[in-house]
Structure 1
Amino acid sequence: MESTDQYLMRPAALPSWGQRTSLRLLNFFGWNFRWKPLPGPHGIAVVYPHTSNWDFPIGLLAKWTVTHQFRWLAKDSLFRGPTGRLMRYWGGVAVDRSAPQGAITRLAQTMRAADWFWLAITPEGTRGYRPYWKSGFYRIALAAKVPVLLVKIDYGKKVIDVTQSVVLTGDEAADMAVIARAFDGVQAKHPQDAAPIRLAPNDAVRPDEGSGGYRKQA
């Protein structure tokens, strides 16, 4: 059985001052960071659980530690005003939740056309409790034919683990079962607000044979 200790990052092993500083800050606050090289130049990074505002600065420090460009989705209201430019500089991609039509196809096409495009998504969609995950990550990954990276922010062990990825098969039940097993035991900052790892029954996905993409089950 593979040991994740071999993927534990240490400041001395990092090439740049910025990377070492970011990791030392994580370590200072009690966090360890496990990292494995990404499975390719394109993919979806699923970040779970997400129940606290603290997830954002912790995630940013992890991102700066590896220096890879990860884009991330957020509601468009966060990009208004003077902070909007900073959010985009940090990799933010604004989403208009009132007009989701076509967003999956556009994101998949943009991802495949780019030399490098990793998109981080929090599938819970909110810090408060909801009884399921949103299916956007699943539909984008299928449409773009890219792997899904499983990013675990475990407050129980104080570990950020970025060592596992999965390739979706299109069998939703089987795929979500694999993802759920991978996140088993990971503790949120506020465990009572962590969503069960499942898609809503009315948010199932299936192939759209007319376009070659994917859409919601009617």
Structure 2
Amino acid sequence: MHPPGTLILHDLTTARPRPSRGFGMDVWHWLGRGFLALGGWRIAGDWPDDAKAVVTAGPHTSNWDGIWMIAAAAKWRIRLRYMGKKSLTQGPFGALVRWTGCIPIDRSRSNDVVGTMRAAFAAEAGLILVVPPEGTRDRVLKWKSGFYHIAVGAGVPITFAVMDYAKKTVSLPATLWPSGDYAADLAIIQGFYAEATAKYPENFVLTGN
């Protein structure tokens, strides 16, 4: 754990996956590696050692963003978790949806999402939560702040995952231990996405907080 406001820059000349954690994760690793190779994509940077983190995945302008992010995480031997509607985890396919990494969020009423996720982080020894900060594939003029407040509430770092379609690269340029000053930290975070090329560049806007 690092003091609030600590920014850790990652070496993007290496791309070492995490150590093997069993046959199942190794199969996942090779599937991700093969899928990236077929698409001509690569990863850059070693995945941080933090057992718990919020990962900002962007730019997010297409459903393909999630596919490349999942494949990249597989190559890094990382199981990503994500937030989804509670209804998705119910019914005959509920168990399967949970298996994919979905953390159910009750959106049927006013709900403390930050509190729910803080409890989820506290309940598990390891949790890597991926969040697209734009919150939608459509053009937005302001990032949603939920990812930041979740990280602050859970006391975990924020790792930046940058998807660049021009370079066909998913990179991990830095990790930030949030300071509590959202505006200042957002400027730092967005700076690492400023040069990235989205699949649909016209839908990716950085306008501060």
Which letter does structure 1 place at the counterpart of 2:42? Answer: N
Name the Cα RMSD after superposition. Answer: 2.4
SS at match of 2:81: strand
CA distance in structure 2 between the aligned counterparts of 1:4 and 1:63, rounded to whole angstroms: 15
Structure 1: unaligned runs, 5 residues or longer: 10-14, 200-218
**Could you tell me which residue of structure 1 aligns to residue 131 of structure 2?**
121
**Could you tell me which residue of structure 1 aligns to residue 98 of structure 2?**
88
Find out whether 1:132 has 2:142 as its counterpart.
Answer: yes
Which letter does structure 2 place at the counterpart of 1:157? Answer: K
CA distance in structure 2 between the aligned counterparts of 1:87 and 1:110, rounded to whole angstroms: 17
- Residue 22 of structure 1, aligned match among 19, 32, 49: 32
Where do 4+ consecutive residues of structure 1 move more than 6 Å? none
Tell me if structure 1 keeps the 8 A contact 2:194–2:206. Answer: no
The verdict on how the C-alpha distance between 1:76 and 1:51 changes in structure 2, with shifts beyond 3 A counting, is: farther
CA distance in structure 2 between the aligned counterparts of 1:138 and 1:175, rounded to whole angstroms: 9
Tell me if structure 2 keeps the 8 A contact 1:7–1:163. Answer: no
CA distance in structure 2 between the aligned counterparts of 1:132 and 1:98, rounded to whole angstroms: 24
Q: Deviations over 1:41-78 (max 9, x none)?
A: 11101111111011122122112222222211134465
Which letter does structure 2 place at the counterpart of 1:183? Answer: Y
Superposition map of 1:1-218 within 5 A:
4-7=12-15, 16-76=26-86, 78-79=88-89, 84-196=94-206, 198-199=208-209
1:108 deviates by 0.9
Structure 2: unaligned runs, 5 residues or longer: 1-8, 18-22
The verdict on how the C-alpha distance between 1:195 and 1:97 changes in structure 2, with shifts beyond 3 A counting, is: farther
Which letter does structure 1 place at the counterpart of 2:54? Answer: I
- How many residue pairs get aligned? The number is 194
Tell me if structure 1 keeps the 8 A contact 2:16–2:47. Answer: no
Which letter does structure 2 place at the counterpart of 1:25? Answer: F
Tell me if structure 1 keeps the 8 A contact 2:11–2:45. Answer: no
SS at match of 2:172: strand
Which letter does structure 2 place at the counterpart of 1:128? Answer: D
Q: Which shifted more, 190-199 or 109-118?
A: 190-199
TM-score by length of 1: 0.78
Find the structure with the greater CA-based Rg.
Answer: 1
Tell me if structure 1 keeps the 8 A contact 2:10–2:174. Answer: no
SS at match of 2:63: coil
Q: Which shifted more, 96-105 or 28-37?
A: 96-105
Which letter does structure 1 place at the counterpart of 2:144? Answer: K
**Could you tell me which residue of structure 2 aligns to residue 214 of structure 1?**
none
**Comparing both chains, which one has the higher relative contact order based on Cα–Cα distances under 8 Å and sequence gaps of 6 or more?**
2
TM-score by length of 2: 0.81
CA distance in structure 2 between the aligned counterparts of 1:113 and 1:81, rounded to whole angstroms: 24
Q: Which shifted more, 94-103 or 23-32?
A: 94-103
**Could you tell me which residue of structure 1 aligns to residue 6 of structure 2?**
none
